[in-house]
C-alpha cells in the first residue's frame, strides 16, 4: 500500500526563509501572510519565529543577527545546527525576485491550508466514531474550524497607487456610459432611496432598523419583490416567521387583497382569479426563502454560499439579527453585545467574500420610547455598537403615525443615516399595512396614483 504523504514542500519553505534574510521588505510581507504553523518542518517553524521576533523588535535582520539571536535563546540545535543554517543562508543569496518569492509563499500557504483541512476532518471523523458528542456539536466544531481556515485564504490587502485605482474606476465608468458594462448595484425599486444610496452594491453590509410594528420586514420584502420583478435573484433568511406567513405577506402585496382577509380566509370566488394571477407571478420570481429557526452564523454562511452558487443571488437579507446565535447558542462566555459584534463582522466579511449585498434587519432600543423625539438614531441600534461601525449603509425607519394621531397613517420615513458610498438624507414612503405594500411618496398630493378597483396595482 502506497504511503500517503502529508502536504508540504521543504524547498519552498527554505526559499521563503532565505529570501526574508536578504530582502527586508519580503520579511515584512511574510510576517503578514504566514504563521509559524504554516511551516511543516519544525526547524523552519523555529527559524520563522525567530525572524518574526527580530522583525517585531524593529531590528535589522541578516544572517549574523539571526545566528546571534538563536545562540542567545539556545535555539541553534532546534534549527539543525550551523550546517543546516548555512544551507538556508545559501539557498537564494541576493538573487531573489518578488515574483519568485510570491510563488514560494503561495506554495507554503497552500500546503498549510491543506494540512489544516486534513486535521479538521480527521478530528471530525474521530469524534464521530467515538459517538460521545452530539452530531450538531461535531458539525458546529468542524464548521468553525473550516471557517477559520477559509479566513486564512483571504489575501492580505496590498498597497497600490491611488492613480491605478482611479484609472480602473474611470475605465469602469466609461464602459457603463457606453452601455458595455451593467451597473454593479442592484436597485431597491424606490426612486428617491436609490437616488441617495445609488442602490445596494456587491460586498455591502446594510442594516435596516426600526421599532416593532413600523414595517421593517415588509419594507425589505418589498425590496425583494421589486428586484425579483427586474429579474434579480435574491434570498431571505427568516428566523421568526414560517414560510406560509412570509408567502402570505407577499401574496397580499402582489394580489392587492388585504392581509386580514387572506389570514382569516375571508375571500370570495371573485378574489380567486386575482389570487391565481398573483401566485403565477410569484412562481416566476427568482426569490428564495429559508425559514430555519435558531440558525447560527456558521449555518448562514454555508447556506449563503450555496444559494449564491446555485441561483446567482445578488442580495441576501436576514430577518432579524437579534434572533441569531454565534454558535448555535453556545457563545456562553460572551456578552450578547460581543456575540452580536462577531456576527456583524462575519456577515460583513461574507458579503465581500460572496460579492453580494447582505441586509440585516435589526431592532432598535426601547430607549427611543422614553424620548420626546421618537425618531431612532444609529446610537439606538439594539445590543451592539458594532452594527453602526461595520455597516456600509444604515436605514432607520420611522412611522410618525405611531405617536402623532394627526400624522398620515401611511407615512414611513426612511432615514439614510449612514452611507459610505454616497450622501445621507430622509426618504418618504407610503406603507399600506393591509397590503404589506410600500410605494414612493408623491409630494404633490401625498398619495399614490389611483388604479382601477379590480387591478392589484
Q: Which CATH number characterizes residue 86's domain? A: 1.10.860.10
**What is the full per-residue pLDDT of the chain (457 aa) written as tens digits?**
566 789 999 999 999 998 888 877 788 888 888 889 999 999 999 999 999 888 877 667 888 888 888 999 999 999 888 888 888 888 766 556 777 888 999 999 999 999 999 999 999 999 999 999 888 888 878 877 887 777 666 555 456 687 777 787 787 777 767 766 567 789 999 999 999 998 999 999 999 999 888 889 999 999 999 999 999 999 999 888 888 888 888 889 888 888 888 888 888 888 888 888 888 888 899 999 988 777 778 788 878 888 998 899 999 999 878 887 765 444 456 777 778 888 888 899 889 889 999 999 988 888 888 888 888 888 888 666 678 888 999 999 999 888 888 888 889 999 999 998 888 999 999 999 888 899 998 754 444 433 333 444 4
Within this chain, do residues 335 and 428 fall inside the same structural domain, yes or no?
A: yes
| Co-location of 326 and 380 in the same domain | yes
Kindly state whether residues 144 and 189 are assigned to the same domain.
no
- Residue 403: domain span: 184-440
Burial code (b: 16+ CB inside 10 Å, e: under 16) for 337-359 equals eebbbbbbebbbbbbebbebbbb
| Shared domain check, 200 and 125 | no
Number of domains in the chain: 2
Instruction: Quote the distance between the C-alpha of residue 336 and its chain's center.
Output: 19
Q: What angle do CA 310, 348, 169 make, to 5 degrees?
A: 85
Beta-carbon contacts of residue 412 (< 8 Å; ≥ 6 apart): 214, 215, 219, 397, 398, 399, 428, 429, 430, 431, 438
- Based on the fold, state whether residues 149 and 228 are members of the same structural domain: no
Helix axes 243-255, 272-283, angle to 10 degrees: 110
d(CA 172, CA 165): 11
126 & 73 share domain:
yes
DSSP-derived letter for residue 400 is G
Task: Tell me if 452 is assigned to some domain.
Answer: no
368 shares a domain with 306: yes
pTM value > 0.75: no
Domain boundary among 111, 135, 153: 153
- Contact predicate 307/234, CB 8 Å: no
CB-CB contact of 20 with 51 (8 Å) = yes
Residues 93 and 188 placed together within one structural domain of the fold:
no
**Residues 271 and 365 placed together within one structural domain of the fold:** yes
Distance of alpha carbon 41 from alpha carbon 14, whole angstroms:
9
- Any domain includes 245: yes
Q: Do residues 126 and 194 share a domain?
A: no
Amino acid at each position: 500500500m502506497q504511503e500517503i504523504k502529508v502536504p508540504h514542500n521543504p524547498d519552498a519553505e527554505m526559499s521563503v526563509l532565505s529570501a526574508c534574510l536578504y530582502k527586508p521588505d519580503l520579511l515584512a510581507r511574510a510576517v503578514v501572510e504566514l504563521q509559524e504553523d504554516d511551516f511543516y518542518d519544525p526547524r523552519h517553524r523555529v527559524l520563522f519565529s525567530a525572524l518574526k521576533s527580530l522583525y517585531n523588535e524593529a531590528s535589522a535582520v541578516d544572517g549574523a543577527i539571526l545566528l546571534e539571536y538563536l545562540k542567545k535563546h539556545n535555539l541553534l540545535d532546534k534549527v539543525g545546527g550551523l550546517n543546516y543554517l548555512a544551507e538556508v543562508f545559501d539557498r537564494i543569496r541576493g538573487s531573489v525576485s518578488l515574483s519568485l518569492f510570491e510563488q514560494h509563499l503561495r506554495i507554503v500557504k497552500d500546503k498549510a491550508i491543506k494540512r489544516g483541512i486534513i486535521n479538521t476532518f480527521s478530528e471530525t471523523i474521530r469524534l464521530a466514531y467515538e459517538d460521545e458528542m452530539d452530531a450538531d456539536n461535531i458539525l458546529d466544531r468542524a464548521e468553525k474550524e473550516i471557517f477559520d481556515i477559509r479566513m486564512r485564504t483571504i489575501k492580505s490587502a496590498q498597497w497600490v497607487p491611488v492613480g491605478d485605482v482611479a484609472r480602473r474606476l474611470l475605465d469602469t465608468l466609461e464602459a457603463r456610459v457606453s452601455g458595455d458594462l451593467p451597473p454593479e448595484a442592484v436597485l431597491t425599486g424606490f426612486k428617491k432611496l436609490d437616488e441617495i444610496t445609488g442602490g445596494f452594491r456587491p460586498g455591502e453590509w446594510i442594516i435596516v432598523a426600526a421599532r416593532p410594528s413600523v414595517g421593517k420586514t415588509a419594507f425589505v420584502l418589498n425590496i425583494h419583490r421589486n428586484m425579483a420583478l427586474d429579474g434579480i435573484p435574491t434570498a431571505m433568511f427568516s428566523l421568526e416567521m414560517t414560510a406560509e406567513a412570509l408567502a402570505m405577506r407577499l401574496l397580499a402585496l402582489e394580489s392587492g387583497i388585504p392581509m386580514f382577509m387572506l389570514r382569516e380566509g375571508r375571500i370570495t370566488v371573485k378574489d380567486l382569479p386575482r389570487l391565481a394571477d398573483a401566485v403565477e407571478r410569484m412562481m416566476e420570481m427568482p426569490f428564495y426563502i429559508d425559514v430555519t429557526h435558531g440558525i447560527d452564523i456558521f449555518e448562514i454562511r454555508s447556506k449563503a454560499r450555496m444559494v449564491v452558487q446555485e441561483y446567482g443571488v445578488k442580495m441576501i437579507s436576514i430577518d432579524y439579527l437579534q434572533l441569531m446565535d454565534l454558535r448555535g447558542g453556545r457563545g456562553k462566555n460572551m456578552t450578547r453585545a460581543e456575540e452580536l459584534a462577531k456576527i456583524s463582522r462575519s456577515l460583513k466579511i461574507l458579503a465581500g467574500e460572496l460579492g453580494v449585498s447582505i441586509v440585516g434587519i435589526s431592532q432598535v432600543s426601547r430607549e427611543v420610547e422614553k424620548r420626546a423625539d421618537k425618531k431612532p438614531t444609529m446610537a439606538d441600534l439594539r445590543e451592539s455598537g458594532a452594527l453602526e461601525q461595520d455597516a456600509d449603509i444604515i436605514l432607520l425607519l420611522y412611522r410618525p403615525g405611531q405617536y402623532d394621531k394627526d400624522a398620515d397613517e401611511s407615512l414611513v420615513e426612511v432615514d439614510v443615516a449612514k452611507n459610505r458610498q454616497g450622501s445621507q438624507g430622509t426618504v418618504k414612503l407610503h406603507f399600506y399595512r393591509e397590503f404589506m405594500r410600500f410605494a414612493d411618496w408623491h409630494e404633490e398630493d401625498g398619495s399614490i396614483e389611483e388604479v382601477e378597483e379590480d387591478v392589484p396595482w
